[in-house]
């Protein structure tokens, strides 16, 4: 099964599911199931006759049986779902869990036209098709909003629609959380922002780092083309943005802009603006949809995926926040052209971290593409972003709220967060630099505490050196050690460490003697 699972086309009658599905199946090299056609074949009569002779209930049962059989297939398929399937109780939840849902849509006038005008013969459109469509749209819009991608079909040929769907899916990573979502990676993906915002959203607040105002304006113009009312809220990025008061001011601005429950926030910036805007999305009206557009490499390879949102408190990093998954993440490496060399390089701490805790595929990818990535080679960056997102997607899907394995992603962060705070949030070592130092400490501890081969840690440190991540904090070891108990993962004031048994085999929840911590800090070379 491919990472995206089955692709299911949903949408109102006339949206083009049955026409587009075979073309898409050809583009993707997949088998095809059309639930209506399958039912017609099995019962030997048209859908209209099934409705009139056997009744709608029988049709729905047959339709559901077909869909379940298709979803159980081990071969990834393109499935054209009969329009009423998603309206069946529990169906949308099953579909979104097992498949990537693509919703096709067009104006009612187009739909009626495609169905043959006012003489439309579809059973559910008998009488006045315009009236019936309006009713169906209202009834099914909640289910359609679960789709992972929304493609307009008005003014496009079926081939063009299939191309758009294929482009949306190619190279995307699926994060299979309770409400799964896609991470789209590639040059130009920002042009498709309207395809990722829930169709119910009439207003969008673009919360953007001032440093990327052109990116924010580009997104706003694409959304306006889709008839969405957009308010751009620019704020200075950086660690100072991650404050409760800034979140509060943004909440007031969302309220002033008239955002409602079905509306959406688009977060545009690095990890700081992402964490902050995510918290705003999670708390505004008790939670509205949000899309993340990361604009630093660090945000692309780490913070944009996984739904951790939050702000800092005086005593530490990220001490207030919630888990709130986005509905999509759009990573366009071309926005990285303006990122400072320091920020760019810092992201490699998270890339090296991912390769230390992840599987062999990612290790191999990082070894192969690290140097080209450091040179900002666009293809290498796409591969590295995708590889790191795949690791994170897999870990997060199994442990959305970090009650277990997700903690492996905190390798290097126990010391990293302490160092960020102690050197002055936003003024001293930045997140990546601090995590790189934290990995050196965790590496040294791994050799002693969890038997990690020395060569694995020596190699980790060489990779960090190759990335230019050689900063050491000007702090005394006991000063850092004294701060570790404030970490979110600490219990009873005692830090719980993520260490390595070997590269690719992390262990969590390790308690380490204070003297051993001081030794490791000294060995890692506090300045």
To ligand NAD, the closest distance from the beta carbon of 516 in angstroms equals 26
Q: Is 417 annotated in the active site? A: yes
Candidates 85, 266, 339, 349; binder of ligand NAD (CB under 6 A) is 339
Stretch that binds ligand NAD, among 297-305, 358-366, 442-450, 461-469 (CB under 6 A): 297-305
To ligand NAD, the closest distance from the beta carbon of 67 in angstroms equals 35
Q: Is 150 annotated in the active site? A: no
Stretch that binds ligand NAD, among 95-103, 152-160, 181-189, 337-345 (CB under 6 A): 337-345
Is the Cβ of residue 255 or residue 340 nearer to ligand NAD in the bound state? 340
Pairwise CA distance, residues 139 & 145, whole Å: 12
Pairing of strands 77-80, 289-294: unpaired
Q: Is 286 annotated in the active site? A: yes
Select which of 413, 440, 483, 496 is catalytic.
413
Is the Cβ of residue 250 or residue 299 nearer to ligand NAD in the bound state? 299
Is the Cβ of residue 1 or residue 427 nearer to ligand NAD in the bound state? 427
Q: Is 328 in the site for ligand NAD (CB under 6 A)?
A: no
Residues 393-422 that bind ligand NAD (CB under 6 A): none
Is the Cβ of residue 16 or residue 237 nearer to ligand NAD in the bound state? 237
Is the Cβ of residue 302 or residue 461 nearer to ligand NAD in the bound state? 302
Alpha helix locations (H) across 293-412?
A: 297-298, 341-357, 360-374, 378-398
Candidates 296, 354, 410, 450; binder of ligand NAD (CB under 6 A) is 296
Select which of 160, 210, 217, 402 is catalytic.
402
Is the Cβ of residue 299 or residue 415 nearer to ligand NAD in the bound state? 299
Q: For 447, left (φ over 0), alpha (ψ -120 to 50), or beta?
A: alpha
Stretch that binds ligand NAD, among 35-43, 131-139, 301-309, 462-470 (CB under 6 A): 301-309
296 phi/psi in degrees, rounded to 5? -115, 160
Burial 167-180 (b: 16+ CB within 10 A, else e): bbbeebbbbbbebb
Give me the count of residues in the chain. Answer: 527
Q: Which residues are CB-neighbours of 341 under 8 A, at least 6 positions away?
A: none
Stretch that binds ligand NAD, among 21-29, 101-109, 121-129, 232-240 (CB under 6 A): 232-240
SS3 127: coil
- The answer to whether 20 and 161 are in contact (CB under 8 A) is yes
Q: Is 350 annotated in the active site? A: yes
Q: Is 392 annotated in the active site? A: yes
Q: Is 222 annotated in the active site? A: no
Pairwise CA distance, residues 373 & 371, whole Å: 5
Report the residue closest to ligand NAD, judged by CB: 271
116, 117, 120, 122: CA torsion to nearest 10? 70
Q: Is 270 in the site for ligand NAD (CB under 6 A)?
A: yes
**Site track 22-61 with ligand NAD (rule: CB under 6 A), x = hit:** ----------------------------------------
To ligand NAD, the closest distance from the beta carbon of 165 in angstroms equals 29
Is the Cβ of residue 112 or residue 382 nearer to ligand NAD in the bound state? 382
- The answer to whether 189 and 331 are in contact (CB under 8 A) is yes
Q: Is 410 annotated in the active site? A: yes
355 phi/psi in degrees, rounded to 5? -75, -20
Pairwise CA distance, residues 390 & 66, whole Å: 31
Candidates 19, 272, 354, 423; binder of ligand NAD (CB under 6 A) is 272
Pairwise CA distance, residues 103 & 20, whole Å: 12
Measured between its terminal Cα atoms, the distance across the chain in Å is 50
Q: What is the DSSP string of 431-474?
A: HHHHHHHHHHHHHHHHHHHS---HHHHHHHHHHHHHTT-----S
Q: Is 209 in the site for ligand NAD (CB under 6 A)?
A: yes
458 phi/psi in degrees, rounded to 5? -60, -40
SS3 504: coil
Pairwise CA distance, residues 493 & 513, whole Å: 13
To ligand NAD, the closest distance from the beta carbon of 209 in angstroms equals 5
Would you state the structure tokens that stand for residue 220, as one six-digit string?
């706003």
Q: Is 295 in the site for ligand NAD (CB under 6 A)?
A: yes
Pairwise CA distance, residues 308 & 317, whole Å: 13
Q: Is 269 in the site for ligand NAD (CB under 6 A)?
A: yes
Q: Is 271 in the site for ligand NAD (CB under 6 A)?
A: yes
Q: Is 454 in the site for ligand NAD (CB under 6 A)?
A: no
To ligand NAD, the closest distance from the beta carbon of 114 in angstroms equals 42
Q: Is 242 in the site for ligand NAD (CB under 6 A)?
A: yes
Residue carrying the six token digits 């192969």 = 368
Pairwise CA distance, residues 215 & 204, whole Å: 15
Is the Cβ of residue 65 or residue 489 nearer to ligand NAD in the bound state? 489
Active site residues: 286, 308, 350, 392, 402, 406, 410, 413, 417, 431
What residues make contact with ligand NAD under the rule CB under 6 A? 209, 211-212, 237-239, 242, 269-273, 275, 295-296, 298-299, 302-303, 306, 308, 317-318, 335, 338-339, 343, 346, 431
């Amino acid at each position: 099964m491919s990472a995206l699972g089955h692709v299911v086309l949903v949408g109102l009658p006339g949206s083009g599911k049955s026409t587009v599905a075979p073309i898409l199946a050809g583009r993707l090299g997949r088998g095809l199931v059309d639930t209506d056609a399958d039912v017609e074949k099995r019962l030997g009569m048209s859908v209209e006759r099934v409705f009139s002779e056997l009744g709608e209930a029988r049709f729905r049962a047959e339709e559901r049986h077909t869909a379940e059989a298709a979803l159980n297939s081990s071969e990834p398929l393109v499935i054209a779902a009969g329009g009423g399937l998603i309206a069946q109780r529990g169906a949308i939840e099953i579909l979104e869990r097992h498949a990537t849902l693509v919703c096709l849509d067009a104006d009612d006038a187009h739909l009626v036209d495609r169905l043959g005008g006012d003489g439309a013969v579809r059973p559910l459109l008998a009488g006045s098709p315009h009236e019936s469509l309006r009713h169906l749209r209202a009834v099914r819009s909640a289910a359609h909003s679960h789709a992972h991608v929304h493609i307009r079909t008005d003014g496009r040929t079926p081939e063009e629609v299939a191309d758009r769907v294929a482009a949306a899916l190619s190279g995307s990573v699926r994060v299979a959380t309770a409400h799964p979502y896609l991470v789209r990676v590639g040059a130009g993906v920002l042009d498709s922002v309207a395809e990722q915002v829930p169709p119910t959203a009439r207003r969008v607040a673009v919360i953007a780092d001032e440093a990327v105002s052109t990116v924010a304006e580009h997104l706003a113009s694409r959304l306006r083309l889709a008839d969405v009312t957009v308010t751009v809220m620019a704020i200075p990025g950086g660690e100072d943005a991650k404050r409760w008061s800034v979140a509060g001011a943004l909440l007031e601005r969302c309220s002033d802009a008239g955002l409602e429950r079905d509306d959406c926030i688009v977060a545009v910036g690095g990890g700081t603006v992402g964490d902050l805007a995510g918290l705003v999305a999670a708390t505004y009206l008790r939670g509205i949809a949000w899309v993340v557009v990361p604009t630093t490499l660090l945000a692309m390879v780490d913070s944009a995926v996984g739904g951790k949102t939050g702000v800092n408190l005086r005593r530490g990093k990220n001490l207030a926040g919630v888990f709130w998954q986005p509905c999509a993440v759009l990573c366009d490496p071309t926005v990285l052209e303006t990122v400072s060399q320091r920020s760019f390089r810092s992201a490699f701490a998270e890339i090296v971290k991912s390769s230390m805790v992840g599987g062999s595929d990612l290790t191999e990818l990082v070894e192969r593409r690290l140097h080209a990535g450091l040179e900002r080679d666009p293809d290498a960056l796409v591969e590295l972003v995708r590889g790191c997102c795949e690791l994170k997607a897999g870990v997060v899907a199994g442990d959305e709220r970090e009650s277990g394995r997700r903690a492996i992603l905190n390798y290097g962060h126990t010391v990293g967060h302490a160092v960020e705070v102690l050197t002055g949030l936003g003024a001293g070592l930045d997140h990546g630099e601090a995590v790189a130092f934290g990995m050196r400490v965790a590496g040294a501890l791994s050799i002693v505490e969890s038997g990690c081969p020395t060569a694995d840690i020596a190699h980790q440190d060489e990779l960090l050196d190759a990335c230019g991540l050689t900063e050491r904090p000007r702090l005394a070891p006991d000063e850092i050690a004294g701060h570790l108990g404030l970490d979110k993962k600490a219990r009873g004031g005692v830090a719980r460490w993520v260490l390595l048994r070997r590269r690719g085999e992390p262990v969590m929840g390790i308690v380490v003697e204070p003297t051993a911590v001081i030794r490791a800090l000294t060995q890692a070379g506090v300045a």
